[in-house]
Structure 1
Amino acid sequence: MSEESRIAQEELLEEDAVEDSNILIGSGEYLIVGIRYYNGVAHPGEYVELVREPNNPYDRNAIRVDNMAGDKVGHIKATMASTLAPILDNTSSGRLQVRVDGTIPRAGNSYTLPIFLEFFCTAPNITQEQVKAIAVAFKKLMKRDNRFRIAREFGGDGVTASEMANVSGPSVSRKKMNWQQQEEALNNMFDKQLEDQYKDLPDVSMPSCLKGITLYDYQINGVKWLLKKEIDPSPAPFYKQITEKGKKVWFCEITNSSQVAQPAETRGSILCDQMGLGKSIQTICLILLAPPPGVEYKVKKIAAAGEEKEIIPMPEDAIIRSAKTQELKVILKSASLKVSGKKQDLVDRIIKAKVDGNLSGEHFPEAMRPRVGDTSRCTLIVCPVSVISNWTDQIESYVEDGVLSVRLFHGSNRNDLLPEIKSGCVDVLLVSYQTLAADYSNVFGKDSKGTEEPQKKKVKRDSIFDIDFHRIVLDEAHTIRNGKTKFFKAVKEINANRKLAITGTPFVNKSDDVHSLLSFLGVQPLDNKSIFTRAISTPIKNGDDLGLTRLRACMGFVSLRRSKQNVNIKMVEKDVQLCSVEFDRDAHKEVYDALFGTLKVAMEAILSEGDGTEALKHYSSIFEKLLRLRQACCSGTMISEERRKIALNVWEEVKSSGSGKKLSAEEGLTLLKKLQGVFTEDPEELPECGICLTEMEATDGTILKSCLHVFCKLCIRQVLSKSNRKCPYCRADFQEGDIVDMSTAESAANLPSSTKETDVTMFGTPPKIQALLQSIKSMKSDEKGVIFSQFTSYLDLIGDALTEVGHAFVRIDGSVPAQKRIAIIQAFNSDNEGSPRFILCSLLASGTGINLTRGNWAFMMDCWWNEAIETQAMDRIHRLNQTRKVTIQRFVMKDSIEERIVALQEAKSMQAKGVLQKLKGDEKRKALLSDLRGLLDIDQDK
C-alpha cells in the first residue's frame, strides 16, 4: 500500500473516531498552600494546571499548581496531595483515562487559596455501563478523601465548576441542547453579528486587474472585511489590559488569568459564506489587494500626462511603528497631512492614510521601503484534489493575464518547484491536503510515542515546510476539523504570515469542529484544546449559555458568514424532484429481495434478544451489507456473481424453512457471518504510486507480478534503469517482464465475455438508468446535465447507456489527476461545438468546490447517508452565475432501503457521519439501533 493510500485510510479512521467522552465522575474542593513564596497570581474563576513533582525533596506526592501563564502559584496541601498524586500518576502514564481540571472558585488569603477539582472520564467509544464501572473504581481509589464527591449521575452529591461559581449568585436553570438546536443557535449567531462586522471597513477599491466580473455588494464588503483582518490584527476580544500589582497586564476573561506579554495577534480569519456565494473570488481579490511588501501585481500605472510611472511599495505597519517621531512627521508633511500630536497619533494617522490611499510609497524615505524578496511572495492554497481545477479556472477567468503566476505542487517532481517558489517567481501555489499530508509524513515521520510532537527524520531534505509563505489559505477548511489527522498536523507545520480558512460548513456535527480552525489561526486562548473543551464544549453540552456566548464572541471576531437569504441577491429557481422508480419483476428485483430478506431475518433474530449490543458488535459487517443493498438498488450486476449466488441460495433456504419458525440470536449471527462473502477491500479504492505518492490514471499504473506492489510507469521505469532492480517497498527482486500495465491486469481480471453477455441478457438496463434516459428527453437541446453517483462502477454502466443512445460525456472520479480534471471541467463548461453534453461525477470526488454552472440539470443516481453531501453536489450548478432554471432529480427505488434513507434524512435522525457511526454512550446506541430497525423495516418493539 502506498504512503498516500495509508494516509487516506488513517484519515478515514480518525475522522470516524469520536471525541473523548468527557463525562464528569466527581469533584471536590482542596487547598493550595505556600502561595506567599511564589509570584504567580491566580484569580477567582481562573483555570489552573496541576503539575506532579515526584522528585520533590520534601514530599514525593507533591503537586504544584501553575497559572495559565505557567507561573508557579503554590502546592496542593500535603495531606490532600497524598490521595490525589496516585490519580495524576496513573493519568500521566495513560493507565487511567481520567482528566483533572482545576479552577480557583473564589479568593483566598495571604497563605492559602481554594482550588476546585473536577475529574472527567475521557475514554472514547465508551458505554454508560463502562463509565459507571470506572466511577465505582474511582470512588474506591478516593475512599480516604472526604473532600471528593461522586457526581450526581452516579448517585453522589458532587457539583460542577460552573455550579460552584453560581453558589452565591442567582439560580440558573440549564437544558441540554441536541446538535440540531446548537446548529440553529450558531447559525442565528452569524446573522445577528453581521451588522457590527460591517462597521469601520477599510475604504478601498476592488482590484483593477479583475476582468469579466462585477462583484456584488456583499462580496465587496467581504473582501474589505478579510483585508481588515489581515492589515489590522488584534488579540481575541477576551483580553483586556488592566493594572495588577502596580503594572500593566493582559487579563483573559475566559480563563480569568493575567499575563504580562501581549497575547498573540490574529492575522487572518474564517470566511464561511454559504455554498455558492463566491468565497473563491473574494479570496482572489484579497490576494490581489494585499500582496507582500515590495510586490505589485500591477507593476505600472498610467500617470496623468500619459507616461508610465513605477509604483513604489510602502512599508509594513511594524516598520512605521518602529520609526522615530521626526521621521513620521516628515512623512506626513510630504503628503500635506497633519503633523501634530504624540507618536502614537502620528503612527495611527499614517496607517490610516495608507489604507485610505492618501499616502504612496514615494512619501516614505527609501530606507523604510521594502525590497522585493524581503518576505515570501507566495500564497499557498490547500484544498481537496477535486477543487484545484476550480481555483485555476477562476484565476484564469477573472484575473488579467500575466498578473498572477499560478503553479500546482503535485506529482513526483513537485519538489523541483521549491527553488522557484523561494526565489519569488510564484504568486499562488496550489496543493492538495493529501499531497501535503504525504510530505508531512516524509519530513517528520511517525508521531513519537506518548506525544503529539512529530519526530524529525535524520536525513533533512528541502520541503514545502521550509518555505515562509506570505499567506496560507485552506479551502474546504472543515477537512482539518479532526485535530488528530495528518491533514491538520500538516497545515499547522506550514510557515505563513497570514492565514485564511474557507468553509461553507464551519460546524459539521458539533461545536467542537471549530476548534481546529481556531488552532490553525492561533486564536488565543481557544487554540488550546483543553481550554476550548472547558470553556466552550463542556458548557454547551451541559446546556450552559455561557459556552455559546463565548463561542459567539469568538466567531464574531474571527469569522464572517452570509447566507443566500441575507445577501439580498436573486438566485435562479431550483426545482428538486424526488423520482420514485419501481423495480420490474426481473433479476434486479430478485437480487435485491434476496440481499434484503436475508439481512432482515438475521437482524430480527439478533435484535429480538437482549438490548441490541450483539448487533452493534457487528456494525462494520452490517454496514457492508447495507452498502450491497444500496448497490443492488442501482443494478444487480454491481453485486459479484458469487455474492449473488450466496444471497439467492440463502434466501431460498430461509423461505423454505417456513415463516413460523423463529431464528435464535445465535442462528442470526451465524447467518450474518455466512452472508459476509468475500468482501475484503473497498471496491472504490484508487491506485496511487508507491514512489511519488500521487494518484494515477489507470493508463499510467503498473503492478509488479513478483510482489503485487503498485507504481506509476515513470517511477518504476526509473527504478528499473538506475537501481539494483529491487521493489522500493519490499526489496524483492524483479525483472522487466515482471512489470505489468494496470490496464493489462484489469483485462486479465475481468470476467469472461460469455459471463458479461449473460449478465446483460439476464439483467438488461437497470431501472434507474432507464428513468434517467427518459428524463433526458425532457431537456432542451442547448441544456447540459451533471450525473452524480457515489459508485464508480455505476458510472461505468451509466456511461455505457449514454454511449448507446449517442450522448457525448466526460467523467471525473477519484482516479482522474488534478491537471486532467481542469481540462475536463473546461470542456464541459464550454459552448464550443462538439463539447460534451453530460459530465459523470463521483459524489465524493466532485461534490464540493467545483463550478459546473454550464449544466442546469443534476441527476442524483443514488442516496448518500448524509443529505448535506447531496446538497453540496447540487450546489455545483445552483450557484452564482447560473442563468438557467435548475432542475434536480433524485432517483430512488420504490419500496427499498433508499426510500427509508430519504425518510431518515428528512427526520434529521442521521448525523453527518451516517447511520452507523461509532457509539457515544447509551443515547447514541439507542438512536443507532432505532435507525437500523427503520432502515430494515423491523418493528421498533422487537
Structure 2
Amino acid sequence: MEDDEFIDLTQPSQGFSSERYLLGFVCANIVGIKHYSGTISGREMVGLVREHLNPFDENAIKVLNTRANQVGHIERAVAAVLSPLIDSELIIVEGIVPKTYSGNKFKIPCQIHIFATIENFPTVKDVISESGLALILVSDAASTLSESMAVKDKKAKNEFKTVDEIFKLVDENISKRGALEALEPPRSVIKSDLFLHQKEGLGWLVYRENSDELPPFWEEKDGAFVNVLTNYHTDTRPEPLRGGILADDMGLGKTLTLLSLIVLDKDSIALNMGEGKHDEMGERDDFAISSGKKGKRRGTNKQPTGSAKRRKTDSTSSRGYGTPSTSMDIKTTLVVCPASVISTWITQLEEHTKPGTLKTYMYYGDKRTDNAEELKMYDLVLTTYTTLATEESSPDSPINKIQWWRVILDEAHVIKNVNAKQSQAIMKIVAKRRWAVTGTPIQNGLYDLFSLMAFLRFQPFSTRSYWQSLVQRPLAERNTNGLLRLQVLMATISLRRTKDKALVGLPPKTVETCFVELLEEERKLYDQIESRAKDIVAGYIKDASITRNYSTVLGIILRLRQICTDVALCPSDLKSLLPSNNIEDVSNNPELLQKLVEVLQDGEDFDCPICISPPTDIVITCCAHIYCQACILKTLQRSKGCCPLCRHPLEESDLFSAPPQSSGADADGLSSGKTSLSSKVSALLKLLVASRDQHPATKSVVFSQFRKMLILLEQPLKAAGFKTLRLDGTMNAKQRGRVMEEFATGGTEGPMILLASLKASGTGINLTAASRVYLLEPWWNPGVEEQAMDRVHRIGQKEEVKIVRLIAKNSIEERVLELQEKKKQLAKEAFGKRRAKGNREVGGDDFRMLLSL
C-alpha cells in the first residue's frame, strides 16, 4: 500500500489548531471511479485527502474508503472552490455518501460537510456562494437531509475527561479476558529476572501479535464484514492488528520487556530448527554488536551456510565482535529511537542478555551498510529517527528495502507531528508487526494519537479526515461517541500501567521548590527589561499583532528567564534586542534579525512551527518568524508564497540564514572571565554542599535548558571540590554513552554531579546512579520536567529521590509555574482543542499572565 493512500502527509500541522464548527454542506460527485479499486456500498463515511502533488489537477481532493483504498476524486469544479480554503486552513472537510446512492458506474454522489471557526464563517460563506456552489447551512431546513453524524449525533453534557479515563477501559477489557498472562522469557538468552508486570506485559505483547480477532469496530454479519463506524461492507475479512501501543509509565522497564519479546522469536526459531537451546551462540564473552563500518563485502548477497566458519562481517566494531545469525528463518526486528536512547538499548542488552546470543547491528552514523541482505542476518537492528529522516528520499536506503518482521518505535511521541520528515520516513517502513512505545502517548493533545494510528496503519483511523470525523471533532463537541470510540480503541490496542500502582516498589519521590532572591544588580536589570517588555507586548496586544510578532515576544521572554538564572547568559547589548518600533522596522534590518535568531538559539524549547521539532538550519523571515530552512522552503512552494504563521507574502529572498553557533572553544571560554556568582548559582552551591555534608556518596543531576549555563557551572563547582560531567545536545550517542557509564560506575572519588541539558536528557536515558535532581529553570511544558525527573526515579533506583526546583522570586519564573498548572489542567480536560504548536506555545492571554499585564 502506498504511503499517501492511508495518510495525507502534506496537510499543514496546524489543521486542527482551533475548534471548528459545522457551517453546512455542499453536494458533489466522486468521479474517476473506474480507475481505482476502492468500492463503496452506500451510506458510508469516506475519507477526503488533499492531494497537492497531483500532476493533473493542482486542486485535487482524493476520496478513500474505510480500507484506505482510493475510490476516486471529488469533481474538479467543487475541488477548485474547496481546495484553496483547505490549503489556507480556513476549513476542514468531511465526506459521506448518502444512502440514496444507486451504484452509478461513473460517479458517486457525496455530501461534503464543511467545518470552520466561528470568525471565519462569513469569509467561507462568501467564497462558496460567489463560486456558484450551493451551500446548505446548518440553520437551513434542508440541513435535515444531511447524512453527517455531526448533525445526527446528540451532544453530551459539557463535562471534562481526564487522560486516564481514556485508558480506563484497558483494564476492563483485560478483566473480561481474565488477568494478563504472565510469560517467562527464554532463560537461554535473558539472564535477568523480570518483575511480574513485565512478564504480564510480555504476555500481552505476544497475545496482540498472534491474535486473530477482528480489529475494533468490525463485525461479521451474514458472512460479510461491516465497519460499524463507517458502514463499509466487504466480503474479505479485515487483517488483524499485529501490534499496538505499549504506554507504560516512564521508568517501568519497557526496554527489557521488548527485548524479551524479540528473544521469543529467536527461541521459537531454535525450536523449529530442532536446536531447542542456544548453547552454541553464547561461546564468545564479548557483546555481539556491530556498528556498521562501510567497506567492501564479498559475497554478502549469497546465502550463508550453517558451517562452523560463519562469515564475520567487515562491519564489526571495537564494541563487540559477534557474528550475525544466518538462518533463513531469522526474524529481524527494527528498533527506532532518539540518538540519546541508543546507549540505553546497548546497556540493556549488555545487562540483561547473555553474551553473543542476540545479534545486533547499529545502523547509525556515517559508516553504515548499504546492503539490505546484511541487515536481514541480525536479530535486532538499532537506528535513530534522525538517521531515517536523512534517508527519507533515498531510493537506496536498505531500511526501506526490507519487510521487517517487527518495527518498534521507542519514545514514539517523537513522531507526534505526521508532517515532520522523520515521521514521513517512519511511515514508509514495511513491517508485519508494529509497536509504538511511549510513556507519554498524549503530550500536546489528542491529535498526538493520530500519528500513532498512522504508523500502526489502523484503518480507518490512519486517514486524517476519518480521525477528525470519528474522534477529534466529536470529543471537541463533548459528544459521548467520541470518548467511547477512543476508549474502545485504546482498550484494544494499548497497555498502560503507572507507577502509582506500586508495581515495582519504587522508593518515594519528593519535589520541593526553593525560591531565590535576585541580587541587587540582577533585580535592577530584570526590572528594566521587564518594564520595556511590558510596553512592547501591550502594544502588540492592542494592535492584535501578537501572532505576527510571536518570535520577537518569545525572544524577550527568553531573556527575562535567562536573567533569572544568570546575567552572563545574556549578551552585553541586551537592550538593542528589544524592538523600538513595529515589526516592519525589524524586517529591514538583517543584522537585528540575525541577533533575534541568536536569542532563539540560546533556548532549547523553541520548535519550528511547521515540523514542531527543534529547528535545523535555522532561518528567519522578514516578518520575524523562525523555521527550519527545509520546512519553510517546502511550504513556500506549496502555499503560494505566504508565511504559515501570519500569511505575510514571502519569497526566498525574504529568508535570512542564522549565524553559525558558537564553537566549543568559544563556549568553554565562558567560564574563564566570570568572577561573581549569580544568586541562583550561589543557592545551588549551598544546596549541593549541604547534601554532600549529609550524604557524601549521594550523586546529583543538575538540569538546565541552557548549554551555556552548564558550562558556566563547571568552574564554581570545581572550586567547591565537586567533580562533574556534562551531558548536552551537542554530544553524539557514543559520547553520551561514555558520560553515563562514567557517572554510573565511579565511586565517591569519581564525578558526583552530572550537568545535563533538560531536553537532551529528557527521554530514554537511565540516571539512577543519582538520587538528587536540581532544576535550574522551570520549563514551559511540565511533561518535559516529568520526563527528566523520571530519568532518576525509575526501575533500579534504590534511594529516596529528592527533586529541587530553583525559582527566582517575584519574576517571570513564578508565572511560568502558574502556566504549568494551567497546562496540567488542560491535559486533564477533553482533548478536542489542540494548541496550535503544542504545549510549547503560549498565546496572548499567556503573555499577559507571564508579564503581569
TM-score, normalised relative to structure 1 = 0.68
824, 844, 848: which one pairs with 2:739?
Answer: 824
Q: Could you tell me whether the CA contact under 8 Å between 1:376 and 1:468 is conserved in 2?
A: no
Q: Matches of 1:90 and 1:800 in 2, distance apart?
A: 64
266, 285, 296: which one pairs with 1:291?
Answer: 266
- Per-residue displacement from partner, 1:198-251 (whole Å, max 9, x unpaired)? 5574x74332146664322221111000011123354412222223xxxx3221
CA change 1:852–1:72 in 2 (3 A) is closer
Q: Could you tell me whether the CA contact under 8 Å between 2:340 and 2:760 is conserved in 1?
A: yes
The SS at the match of 2:432 is strand
Which position in structure 2 is the counterpart of 1:261? 236
Which position in structure 1 is the counterpart of 2:514? 579
Q: Could you tell me whether the CA contact under 8 Å between 2:577 and 2:595 is conserved in 1?
A: no
Q: Could you tell me whether the CA contact under 8 Å between 1:599 and 1:672 is conserved in 2?
A: no
Q: Does 1:899 align with 2:809?
A: no
146, 149, 152: which one pairs with 1:162?
Answer: 149
What is the one-letter code of the residue matched to 1:174? A
Q: Could you tell me whether the CA contact under 8 Å between 1:118 and 1:160 is conserved in 2?
A: no
742, 758, 761: which one pairs with 1:846?
Answer: 761
What is the one-letter code of the residue matched to 1:507? I
Which position in structure 1 is the counterpart of 2:113? 119
Q: Does 1:873 align with 2:775?
A: no
C-alpha root-mean-square deviation of aligned residues, in Å? 4.6
CA change 1:110–1:794 in 2 (3 A) is closer
Q: Matches of 2:737 and 2:353 in 1, distance apart?
A: 17
Q: Return the offset for 1:864.
A: 0.8
Q: Could you tell me whether the CA contact under 8 Å between 1:382 and 1:431 is conserved in 2?
A: yes
Q: Matches of 1:227 and 1:209 in 2, distance apart?
A: 18
Which position in structure 2 is the counterpart of 1:712? none
- The correspondence of residues 495-514 of structure 1 with structure 2, limited to 5 A, is 495-514=430-449
Which position in structure 1 is the counterpart of 2:562? 631
- Per-residue displacement from partner, 1:623-674 (whole Å, max 9, x unpaired)? 1111111111111111111225777xx9xxx9xxxxxxxxxxx789979999
CA change 1:234–1:191 in 2 (3 A) is closer
Q: Return the offset for 1:776.
A: 1.1
Q: Could you tell me whether the CA contact under 8 Å between 2:189 and 2:358 is conserved in 1?
A: no
Q: Does 1:135 align with 2:117?
A: no
Which position in structure 1 is the counterpart of 2:823? 908
Q: Does 1:532 align with 2:467?
A: yes
Which position in structure 2 is the counterpart of 1:174? 156
595, 604, 609: which one pairs with 1:678?
Answer: 595
- Per-residue displacement from partner, 1:330-350 (whole Å, max 9, x unpaired)? xxxxxxxxxxxxxxxxxxxxx
Q: Could you tell me whether the CA contact under 8 Å between 1:378 and 1:429 is conserved in 2?
A: yes
Q: Matches of 2:358 and 2:756 in 1, distance apart?
A: 30
The SS at the match of 1:615 is coil
CA change 1:556–1:183 in 2 (3 A) is same
Q: Could you tell me whether the CA contact under 8 Å between 1:105 and 1:164 is conserved in 2?
A: no
367, 378, 389: which one pairs with 1:437?
Answer: 389
381, 393, 396: which one pairs with 2:350?
Answer: 396
Q: Matches of 1:605 and 1:743 in 2, distance apart?
A: 32
Q: Could you tell me whether the CA contact under 8 Å between 1:578 and 1:892 is conserved in 2?
A: yes
- Per-residue displacement from partner, 1:911-941 (whole Å, max 9, x unpaired)? 78xxxxx9979xx999822211110011xxx
Q: Matches of 1:479 and 1:194 in 2, distance apart?
A: 28
Point out the more displaced range, 492-501 or 865-874.
492-501
Q: Return the offset for 1:69.
A: 6.3
The SS at the match of 1:908 is helix
Q: Matches of 1:769 and 1:273 in 2, distance apart?
A: 36
Q: Return the offset for 1:470.
A: 2.5
Which position in structure 1 is the counterpart of 2:78? 87
Q: Matches of 1:39 and 1:748 in 2, distance apart?
A: 61
Q: Matches of 2:742 and 2:669 in 1, distance apart?
A: 33
Q: Does 1:405 align with 2:340?
A: no
Which position in structure 1 is the counterpart of 2:137? 150
CA change 1:68–1:237 in 2 (3 A) is closer
The SS at the match of 1:850 is coil
Q: Does 1:603 align with 2:537?
A: yes
Q: Return the offset for 1:24.
A: 2.7
Q: Could you tell me whether the CA contact under 8 Å between 1:851 and 1:876 is conserved in 2?
A: yes
Which position in structure 2 is the counterpart of 1:485? 420
TM-score, normalised relative to structure 2 = 0.74
- The correspondence of residues 746-757 of structure 1 with structure 2, limited to 5 A, is 747=665, 757=673
Q: Return the offset for 1:153.
A: 12
Stretches of structure 1 lacking an aligned partner (at least 5 in a row): 1-10, 53-62, 76-80, 167-171, 312-370, 445-460, 655-665, 687-694, 696-741, 913-917
CA change 1:925–1:879 in 2 (3 A) is closer
Q: Return the offset for 1:789.
A: 0.6
254, 267, 270: which one pairs with 1:279?
Answer: 254
What is the one-letter code of the residue matched to 1:545? T
Q: Matches of 1:669 and 1:74 in 2, distance apart?
A: 46
CA change 1:412–1:677 in 2 (3 A) is closer
Q: Does 1:26 align with 2:20?
A: no
Q: Could you tell me whether the CA contact under 8 Å between 2:370 and 2:398 is conserved in 1?
A: no
Q: Could you tell me whether the CA contact under 8 Å between 1:573 and 1:886 is conserved in 2?
A: yes
Q: Return the offset for 1:823.
A: 1.7
Q: Return the offset for 1:574.
A: 1.0
Which position in structure 2 is the counterpart of 1:936? 851
Q: Return the offset for 1:602.
A: 2.1
Q: Could you tell me whether the CA contact under 8 Å between 2:519 and 2:679 is conserved in 1?
A: yes
Q: Return the offset for 1:385.
A: 1.0
Q: Matches of 1:65 and 1:618 in 2, distance apart?
A: 38
What is the one-letter code of the residue matched to 2:526? Y
CA change 1:71–1:834 in 2 (3 A) is closer
Q: Return the offset for 1:493.
A: 1.9
Q: Does 1:237 align with 2:216?
A: yes
CA change 1:668–1:933 in 2 (3 A) is farther
Q: Could you tell me whether the CA contact under 8 Å between 1:829 and 1:854 is conserved in 2?
A: yes
Q: Does 1:775 align with 2:709?
A: no
Q: Matches of 1:632 and 1:474 in 2, distance apart?
A: 39
Q: Could you tell me whether the CA contact under 8 Å between 2:37 and 2:70 is conserved in 1?
A: yes
Q: Could you tell me whether the CA contact under 8 Å between 2:226 and 2:233 is conserved in 1?
A: yes
Q: Could you tell me whether the CA contact under 8 Å between 1:151 and 1:159 is conserved in 2?
A: no
What is the one-letter code of the residue matched to 1:240? E
CA change 1:17–1:871 in 2 (3 A) is farther
Q: Could you tell me whether the CA contact under 8 Å between 1:808 and 1:837 is conserved in 2?
A: yes
Q: Could you tell me whether the CA contact under 8 Å between 2:47 and 2:466 is conserved in 1?
A: no
Q: Return the offset for 1:777.
A: 2.2
State the percentage of identical aligned residues: 28
- The correspondence of residues 562-573 of structure 1 with structure 2, limited to 5 A, is 562-566=497-501, 568-573=503-508
Q: Could you tell me whether the CA contact under 8 Å between 2:729 and 2:760 is conserved in 1?
A: yes
What is the one-letter code of the residue matched to 2:406? R
How many residue pairs were aligned? 720
The SS at the match of 2:843 is helix
Q: Matches of 1:668 and 1:104 in 2, distance apart?
A: 48
The SS at the match of 2:405 is strand
